[in-house]
Amino acid sequence: MSYYLDFEKPLEEISIRIDELRRLGAAADPDDQSELAKLEEEALKMRRDIFSKLSRWQTTLVARHPDRPYALDYISLMASDFVEVHGDRAFSDDPAVVGGLATLGGRSVMLVGHQKGRGVKQKIQRNFGQPHPEGYRKALRLMKLAQQFTKPVVTLIDTPGAYPGIGAEERGQAEAIATNLMEMSRLRTPIVSVVIGEGGSGGALALGVGDRLFMLEYSVYSVISPEGCASILWRKNGDLSQEEFSKAADALKVTAKDLLNLGIIDGIIPEPVGGAHRDYHATADNIAKTVTKALDELEPISPEKLIEGRYERLRKLGSFLEG
């Protein structure tokens, strides 16, 4: 690992020493090997302790960790024969949304996901995972293609939100998101969605209407980011503090546990101790197993029943009191 969050700092020094001993490999003497085993056990215990009591704001930071796997990382690990499709056939190709046909768990599926970038060049190219309208129109084009060839759709959600720039608004950002919500609600093929990092606002919802919705253990899903919420509610003069961000995250109930308790999601996909960035392969395997099981349950259901169930599922979200 090259980056440690503030609350992970106690792990940094011990992790550096572990890496040094591992590099010695076969050249390490018995004392070094004994020290390595003890340090690894100590680091695992420390990591379990830290991650067993994360606050909602700390979970948000883990969901945004720069070393965390992104959609294309998961696709390369859990699927084969991936053929990426580009463009919305109306304006251009949006690199913040990726998708195409692939083989997952022995079946052909349409994979669609948000894609962030690493490093300055990639981040700019992917627009920090914030799609333009053409990204959502590309996603919808792929979903309709899946419907045409009776392929299930799997979406991987990871965005801080739809891009709010002038160009995006001029090209119909709100309309593109609304159209996706409408069309996904009546798509005649199974849809399974997984929040793999950030699930931010309508930018996430535009890929999140389906038959099953899962979240990775340290992902977040919310109508607005904690920073955005804090800015609206408490900004007066000067910058906001971590305390306000934490207060907003608590009020929004952004974590997978919160949303499972509220009945918003269907299940939580476990991550390795310390987060998905600790073990890409294990996390990808967990996602593949969960998605495959969900598709096994959904594929025998007729399109009419799928649509009806999707409608009923959405109608049950939330609660209210009649006065």
Q: How would residue 321 be classed by pLDDT, with cut points 50, 70 and 90?
A: confident
> Which tens digit of pLDDT belongs to each residue from 45-95?
988 999 999 999 999 999 999 999 999 999 999 999 999 999 999 999 999
Dist CA 132 CA 185 (whole Å):
21
> Which tens digit of pLDDT belongs to each residue from 188-220?
999 999 999 999 989 999 999 999 999 999 999
Look at 13 and 178; give whichever has higher pLDDT: 178
> Which tens digit of pLDDT belongs to each residue from 99-150?
999 999 999 999 999 999 998 999 999 999 999 999 999 999 999 999 999 9
pLDDT at 299: 95
Q: How would residue 1 be classed by pLDDT, with cut points 50, 70 and 90?
A: low
Residue 24, pLDDT > 80, answer no
Dist CA 64 CA 173 (whole Å):
24
> Which tens digit of pLDDT belongs to each residue from 215-249?
999 999 999 999 999 999 887 766 788 899 999 99
For each of the domains in the chain, give its residue range(s) and CATH number, in order of start.
Answer: 6-53 (no CATH), 60-315 (3.90.226.10)
Largest Cα–Cα separation, the chain: 75
Dist CA 283 CA 197 (whole Å):
12
Global pTM exceeds 0.85:
yes
**DSSP assignment of 250-285:** HHHT-BHHHHHHTTSSSEEE---TT-GGG-HHHHHH
Residue 37, pLDDT > 60, answer yes
| Residue range 25-52: mean pLDDT, rounded | 79
pLDDT at 27: 61
pLDDT at 182: 96
Q: How would residue 32 be classed by pLDDT, with cut points 50, 70 and 90?
A: low
Single-letter residue type at 180: N
